[in-house]
Amino acid sequence: MRGSFRSSGAGETEALGARLADSLGLGDVVLVEGELGAGKTTFVRGAARRLGVTTPVTSPTFTIGQRYRGRDLVVSHIDLYRVSSLAVEEPELLADYLGSDTVSFVEWPGEEETALAGLAHVAAHVSLQHGGEDLRLVTVR
Q: How far apart are CA 111 and CA 125, in angstroms?
A: 13
Helix runs in 22-124, H state only: 40-50, 113-119
Given a cut of 90, whether residue 111 has pLDDT beyond it is no
Are 131 and 6 contacting, i.e. CB atoms less than 8 angstroms apart? yes
Q: What is the pTM of this model?
A: 0.94
Q: How far apart are CA 140 and CA 17, in angstroms?
A: 10
Three-class SS state of 9: coil
Evaluated on CA atoms 22, 18, 28, 140, the torsion sign reads positive
What are 23-74's pLDDT values in tens digits? 999 999 999 999 999 999 999 999 999 999 999 999 987 888 999 999 899 9
Closest CA to 136 of 6, 4, 1: 6
Domains of the chain and any CATH numbers: 3-140 (3.40.50.300)
